[in-house]
């Protein structure tokens, strides 16, 4: 394993999703699921007060970590995130936002330095509220809905029975990627987890992405991507 990069202080991982038991386990809430996995492995874990969000602080191999679950629905994720950045004096480059992605097949993940929201309303709200696209991204593939199924319904449904093993494996791989980002930085994370399959793009953020169980880990809601283009809105 590469030696951890000195990140120079605390970093923030933001899992995107929708609050409420009716959305638990939905495709749109994979960001929450990854944040849960990362939180479970932190030392000295403590819950901190936060407006419109759950906020956890802990340490990963001696490094200070914040985990945030915005709880104001997907398309209002930016407000709680901005408050945490101000509170801890964090630059956007110290943020990793984790979300679902319709344009990646189920089981694949992709890490990026920044870029546009790609139609994902949670990411779009982060861009708007932070005033920059410079925060880092970890996207989990959920695939496109079958013919005749509206996107806004598809993303709010749970994975079907035959999808669950692969979805669970993907969440575990994404949690490993988030830990790699925290310990080694975004470039190492992209190199490790954006390894392409045959015929796909490269590790620099071009099309591609690691398949679940396909990358080596470091040692030790409503709205959807696409509904912004279709006029659908989140439940309020």
C-alpha distance from residue 132 to each of 10, 154, 173, 194 (Å): 20, 29, 27, 23
Q: What share of the chain is helix, strand, coil (3-state, %, to 5)?
A: 35, 20, 40
User: Which CATH architecture fits 11-230?
Assistant: 3-Layer(aba) Sandwich (3.40)
Residue tagged active-site, from 15, 18, 26, 28: 28
DSSP 50: -
Q: What is the pLDDT of residues 99-132, one digit of tens each?
A: 999 999 999 999 999 888 777 989 999 999 999 9
More confident residue, 69 or 222: 69
Q: String of b and e for 203-217 (b: at least 16 CB within 10 Å)?
A: bebeebbbbbeebeb
Given a cut of 60, is residue 142 above it in pLDDT?
yes
Q: What is the pTM of this model?
A: 0.82
Domain limits of the chain? 11-230
- Of 144, 139, 137, 142, nearest to 109 by C-alpha is 139
pLDDT at 159: 96
28 in catalytic set: yes
Return the H-helix or E-strand segment holding 191: helix 186-193
What is the rounded average pLDDT of the residues 140-145? Answer: 94
Contact 192, 182 (CB under 8 A): no
């Amino acid at each position: 394993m590469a030696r951890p990069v000195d990140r120079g202080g605390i970093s923030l991982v933001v899992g995107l999703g929708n609050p409420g038991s009716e959305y638990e386990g939905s495709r749109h809430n994979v960001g929450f699921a990854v944040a849960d996995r990362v939180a479970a492995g932190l030392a000295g874990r403590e819950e901190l007060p936060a407006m419109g969000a759950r906020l956890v602080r802990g340490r990963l191999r001696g490094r200070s970590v914040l985990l945030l679950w915005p709880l104001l629905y997907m398309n209002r994720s930016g407000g709680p995130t901005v408050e945490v950045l101000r509170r801890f004096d964090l630059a956007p480059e110290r943020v990793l936002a984790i979300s679902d992605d319709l344009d990646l097949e189920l089981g694949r993940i992709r890490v990026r330095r920044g870029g546009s929201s790609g139609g994902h309303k949670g990411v779009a709200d982060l861009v708007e509220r932070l005033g920059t696209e410079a925060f880092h991204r970890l996207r989990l593939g959920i695939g496109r809905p079958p013919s005749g199924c509206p996107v806004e319904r598809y993303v709010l449904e749970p994975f079907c029975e035959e999808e669950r093993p692969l979805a669970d494996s993907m969440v575990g791989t994404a949690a490993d990627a988030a830990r790699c980002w925290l310990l080694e930085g975004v470039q190492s994370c992209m190199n490790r987890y954006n390894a392409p399959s045959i015929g796909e793009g490269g590790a620099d953020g071009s099309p591609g992405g690691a398949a679940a169980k396909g990358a080596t880990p470091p040692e030790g809601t409503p709205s959807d991507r696409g509904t912004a283009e279709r006029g659908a809105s989140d439940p309020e």
